[in-house]
Amino acid sequence: MLQETVFKSLHEAAGARMVDFAGWFMPVQYNSIVEEHKLVRSACGLFDVSHMGRIIITGKQHKEFVEHICSNTRANMKPGRVRYNLICKEDGTILDDVLVSASLEDGAPSEKDVKANPPLALRKGCTMIVCNAGNHPKIAAWIDKQSKNFDVHIHDISAAYPMLALQGPRSQDILQPLTDADLGSLKYYTCTVGTVLGVKDVIISRTGYTGEDGFELIFPKAVAEKVFKGLVEKGKAGGLALTGLGARDSLRLEAGMPLYGHEIDETINPLEAGLDWAVDLKKNFIGSDALKKIAKAGIKRTLVGLDVQDKRIARQGMKVMHKGKAVGAIASGTKSPTLDKIIATAHVPVEVAKNAGTVDVELREGVLAAAKVVPTTFYTRKK
């Protein structure tokens, strides 16, 4: 049976087309996916991202524990900072990519207070991890298993605290009149706690998965309908509209953001995925020994972008050919609404990535389309 977010009835009332996404009944679109995509690039889209996992870690060793399980550094994160991370297995392959948020202070909230009001922990002392929907059970179990030798407490707030994302260049203008938080001083990849639409202790994070400016909001389930309707009604004048996961996928692909099960999974390590910038090999963490050896020996395959010279979409799993031989496979592909062309990502040998210039994609047996090898980031927003 599919899981549902607290907003299901509101999505259906708004005319959403609902689909199975990672075991969740989610809105893939409300109108045209292309129009929703363009709306986020030009104005502001509102996404339900409550299917993702939200885990708060408290206790005396919460920093040390996160340092142990995550690829990027936690120790030097300033208060309120958010940092992209990988959680890896011992062999260095990727269990999930996550966002790690540092609390606003380095205090020690009581467990009683945290259970009663989890955002209090983000004010006073904790680390929050947001993981992917399909990997949530796996990551929750992994965190629980690895935490046994640390003085930490794990609070999975996913079911009780839904999450919405405003994404697009008008996000700040739309949200600012509705909150007491100073969004102008909230830098990209930082977070705070404030009041939104009269709801106190909302976690506000200047993050997203679209390549645009935006904010992700975490708040109590009891006020979910109030927040959802308030954002839709009050954001309308600024150009806000509901957007589904179909647009979210094409937006993230244009922006060069990996999707678990496509660009990354348990057979791929961060160095092969071009995510070495999110790995600190100067520290020890689960998988670091393996990754240090891989880094020393050099990777044999890597992730590339492809500018496909055809009108047909390159789909996941399609063969990538070079000089008549299969050398890799498509990870993701779509027609870019922003660039009006077919874009894709693929895993290929390093020598092909460096020297080929062009490859072929087998759209179906015997039918090839030429593709230029390009960087994985196809679109960068103007700042």
128-175 tens-digit pLDDT: 999 999 999 999 999 999 999 999 999 999 999 999 999 999 999 999
| SS3 of residue 134 by DSSP | coil
Q: What domains can you pick out in the chain, each with its CATH number?
A: 3-50+162-254 (3.30.1360.120), 53-143 (3.30.70.1400), 300-374 (2.40.30.110)
Sign of CA dihedral 57, 59, 65, 66: positive
Look at residue 301 in the predicted model and tell me its pLDDT. Answer: 98
Tell me: pLDDT of 383 over 80: no
162-221 tens-digit pLDDT: 999 999 999 999 999 999 999 999 999 999 999 999 999 999 999 999 999 999 999 999
Give which of 283, 285, 336 is closest to 313, Cα–Cα: 336
Tell me: pLDDT of 366 over 90: no
Look at residue 186 in the predicted model and tell me its pLDDT. Answer: 99
| SS3 of residue 19 by DSSP | strand
Tell me: pLDDT of 382 over 90: no
243-261 tens-digit pLDDT: 999 999 999 999 999 999 9
Average pLDDT for the chain: 98
Q: pTM value?
A: 0.97
Determine contact, residues 235/44, Cβ cutoff 8 Å. Answer: yes
Report the largest interatomic distance among the alpha carbons of the chain, rounded to a whole angstrom.
64
